[in-house]
Amino acid sequence: MTERAKFSGRIGFILAAAGSAVGLGNIWRFPYLAGKNGGASFLLIYLLFIAFICFPIMTAEIAIGRKAGLNAYGSYKKIGSGSWGSVGILGIIIGILVLSFYNVVAGWAFGYFIEIVFSDLLSVKDYGTHFAHYVADPSDNLFFSMGFMILTALIVSQGIQKGIEVANKIMMPGLYILLIALIVYSLTLPGAMKGVEFYLIPDITEITRHTFLDGVRQAFFSLSLGMGALLTYGSYLHKDQNIVSSAAIITLADTMVAFLAGLMVFPLVFSAGQSPAEGPPLVFMILPKIFQDMGPILGRIVGGSFFLMLCFAALTSTISMLEVPTAYLVDEKKLPRKKTVWTLATVVFIMGLPSLLSQGTKGFDMLNKLSFYHGRDFMTFISDLADMGLTLSGFLLCIFVTYRWKLFNMHEELAIGSPGYMSSGLHHFINFSIRIICPIAMGILFTMLMLEKFFGLDNIF
C-alpha cells in the first residue's frame, strides 16, 4: 500500500486548517450576527464559547484524526470499533449538506467580485432590489456557483501538498493583507468611531437567549468543527507536530479574522449612516452602496479587494469540505482521487440547486416558502439542519472521547509532539471541558435549535 499523503510540515497544516476555519462564516455571517445581536455583547459571548467549548473540541477532533490516520468514518471506526463509525458518517453527510449551500453563497461573492471589477455593480441605484434580483435570477448564479465548485475541485484533485497546501499558502496571507488594508481604510472614514463603539463596548442588557444560541452556533461553524474537516486534516499531520499549540493558533487565526471583519464592517456601516442589523444581506446590500460612494476608481479597488477576500476565504473552506467525503471514498472504497473529486463535486453542485433556486426564483415558489418549515426558504432549512447536525456531532464526539476512546488516551496522543503538555495543567482544562461543559452545552443547543426551528417554539421561551 502506498503511504498516506501528509502535509509537508507545521505551517502547511496550520494554514490549511485555518483556511478551513476562516470562511464566509467569519466575513459574511459573523458581522451580520453581531450586528443583529447588539455588537459588543455578541462578541463577548462568542469569545467565551470559543475558549471554553470550541478550542477543546478542536484539539480532540485533530487528535482523533492523527491517532487513526484515516478519514472521518475510518477514524471513529478504528479507534471506537462497532458502530462508532456512524459518527464519522454523520459528519460526512453534514459536510456535503453545508457545501451544497455554502457554494451558492460563495458563487454570489464570486459574481459580485466580477461585477464590481469588470462590470457595472457600482452604478446600481438600489442595492437592496439589486441583490434580491441577483439571487433570484439563476442565469448568473448558476454560472458562478458552478465556477466556484470547479475551482474547488481543481484544487482538491491535486491532492494534499500540491493542491490544498499550495492554495492555502497563497490565499491565506492574501486574505490577511486585504483585510488589514480595508480596516485601515474604514477606520479613517468620518463617523467610523461610532461603529467601533457599537462593536467594542458591550451593553449587557442586549444579551438574550438569541445571543447565546447564535453565538455558540456561529463559534462551532466558524471553527469548522463537527463535520470531520479538521479530523481529516489531522490525519495528514506528522506525529512530531504539536496538536495543542497548532489548535491554539488555528483558533486564534479564525477568531482574529472574525473580529477584524467586524472591525472593518461596522465603521463602514456607521459612517454611511446605515443600520448594522440588516441580517444576511449585510455585506451584499450595504457594503456595495458604500463602495459606490467612494467613486468609480476607489470603489472598484476597495470593493474589488473586499469581494476577492471573500472568495479566498470561501475557497479555502470549500476545499476542506470537499476533502472530507473525498478522503472517505479514497480510504474506504479505494477509489481514485481525481475521479472521486469530480464526481462528488458534480453531485454536491446538483444538491445545491434547490438552495440556489430558493431565493425568489420565478416558478420555484415552493422552495422559497416551505410550508413544513414555517414559511422559510430551502437554503435556510439546509443551513439550520446542518447547524443542528454539527451540534449533535460535537455532542457525540465528546461522548466518544470520554466513554469510548477515554480521555487519558487522547491526552497521550496530544502529548506526542508536545512534551510539556501533561505538566502544563492544560489537560485538566481540556478534560473538564470535553467531559462536562461541551456535552451539556451542545446537548442544550441541539434541543433548543430543534424546538425553535422545527416546532416553531420561538415565542415560548
Interface contacts to ligand PHE, rule CB under 6 A: 20-21, 23-26, 98, 221-222, 224, 227, 229, 317, 320-321
CB of 330 to ligand PHE, least distance (A): 18
CB of 361 to ligand PHE, least distance (A): 24
State the Cα–Cα distance between residues 437 and 259, nearest whole angstrom.
24
Of the pair 224, 241, the CB lying nearest ligand PHE is at: 224
* Angle between helix 378-399 and helix 209-222 axes, rounded to 10 deg: 80
CB of 29 to ligand PHE, least distance (A): 7
C-alpha cell at 453: 426551528
CB of 55 to ligand PHE, least distance (A): 14
Of the pair 29, 289, the CB lying nearest ligand PHE is at: 29
Of the pair 26, 255, the CB lying nearest ligand PHE is at: 26
C-alpha cell at 191: 463617523
C-alpha cell at 267: 465603521
Which helix (H) or strand (E) segment is 22 a member of? none
Residue carrying C-alpha cell 435556510: 380
- Backbone φ, ψ for residue 292 (5° rounding): -60, -45
Q: What is the DSSP letter of 161?
A: I
Of the pair 30, 134, the CB lying nearest ligand PHE is at: 30
Of the pair 21, 285, the CB lying nearest ligand PHE is at: 21
C-alpha cell at 155: 484544487
Of the pair 224, 292, the CB lying nearest ligand PHE is at: 224
Residue 454 neighbours by CB distance under 10 Å: 15
CB of 292 to ligand PHE, least distance (A): 27
| Beta carbons within 8 Å of 328's beta carbon, 6+ residues apart | 71, 72, 73, 74, 88, 92
CB of 254 to ligand PHE, least distance (A): 7
Residue 366 neighbours by CB distance under 10 Å: 12
Of the pair 25, 56, the CB lying nearest ligand PHE is at: 25
CB of 422 to ligand PHE, least distance (A): 30
How many Cα atoms are found within 13 Å in the side-chain-facing hemisphere of 292? 17
C-alpha cell at 269: 456601516
